[in-house]
Amino acid sequence: MGKLYFHILFLILSNSFIAEVYSSATFTIVNKCQFTVWPGILSNAGISPLTTTGFALRTGESRIIAAPSSWGGRFWGRTHCSEDPSGKFTCVTGDCGSGKVECAGAGAATPVTLAEFTLDGDAGKDFYDLSLVDGYNLPILVAPQGGSGTNCSKAECGADLNSDCPSELRVATAAGEGVACRSACDAFGGEQYCCSGAYGTPAACKPSQYAQTFKRACPQAYSYAYDDLTSTFTCVGADYIITFCPSPNTSRKSSSGSSGGGQNPASAAGGSNTPFDGNMVYEGALEVSSAPSTYRHAVGGAVVVAAAMWRLSHLY
Is 166's pLDDT higher than 50? yes
Is 95's pLDDT higher than 90? yes
Is 138's pLDDT higher than 80? yes
Domain count of the chain?
A: 1
CA distance 220 to 197: 27
Task: Answer yes or no: is 172 within a domain.
Answer: yes
Across the range 81-97, mean pLDDT stands at 97
What's the confidence (pLDDT) of residue 24?
77
| HSE toward the beta carbon, residue 14, CA cutoff 13 A | 7
**CATH for 163:** 2.60.110.10
Q: What is the dihedral of CA 170, 229, 241, 118, to 10 degrees?
A: 100
CA distance 252 to 284: 9
CA distance 177 to 251: 30
- Please report, for residues 24, 234, 306, 307, the alpha-carbon distance to residue 237 in angstroms, rounded to integers and kept in the order given: 8, 10, 24, 26
First to last CA, the chain: 9
Across the range 189-209, mean pLDDT stands at 95
Is 14's pLDDT higher than 50? no
Across the range 39-57, mean pLDDT stands at 96
Is 90's pLDDT higher than 50? yes
CA neighbor of 250 nearest in space, from 284, 287, 285, 286: 284
Cα 267–chain centre separation = 22
Is 310's pLDDT higher than 60? no
Across the range 123-145, mean pLDDT stands at 96
CA distance 97 to 101: 10
Which three-class secondary structure state does DSSP give residue 303?
helix
Candidate from 18-27, 69-78, 175-184, 215-224 with smallest mean pLDDT: 18-27
To 5 degrees, how large is the angle CA 61–CA 67–CA 73?
90
Is 93's pLDDT higher than 70? yes
Top pLDDT among 275 and 172 is at 172
Residues 6+ apart with CB under 8 A from 259: 251, 252, 253, 283
CA distance 299 to 255: 19
Is 259's pLDDT higher than 80? no
Question: How many other CB atoms are found less than 10 A from the CB of residue 122?
Answer: 8
According to DSSP, the β-strands at 25-31 and 62-67 are antiparallel
CA distance 82 to 301: 40
Top pLDDT among 139 and 247 is at 139
What's the confidence (pLDDT) of residue 133?
95
What's the confidence (pLDDT) of residue 229?
81
What's the confidence (pLDDT) of residue 248?
56
Task: Answer yes or no: is 313 within a domain.
Answer: no
What's the confidence (pLDDT) of residue 185?
95
Task: Answer yes or no: is 17 within a domain.
Answer: no
Is 237's pLDDT higher than 60? yes
Is 249's pLDDT higher than 90? no
Reported as a pLDDT band with limits 50, 70 and 90, residue 11 is: very low
Task: Answer yes or no: is 205 within a domain.
Answer: yes
How would you label 44-62 residue by residue, b for 16+ Cβ within 10 Å and e otherwise?
eeebeebeebbbebeeeeb
CA distance 106 to 98: 7
Q: Outline where DSSP puts E strands in 182-293.
A: 233-235, 239-244, 252-254, 280-282
The domain of 31 spans 27-291
What is the average pLDDT score of the chain? 79
To 5 degrees, how large is the angle CA 23–CA 26–CA 30?
165
Task: Go through the chain and tell me how many residues it has.
Answer: 316
Which three-class secondary structure state does DSSP give residue 299?
helix
Is 228's pLDDT higher than 90? no
CA distance 38 to 30: 11
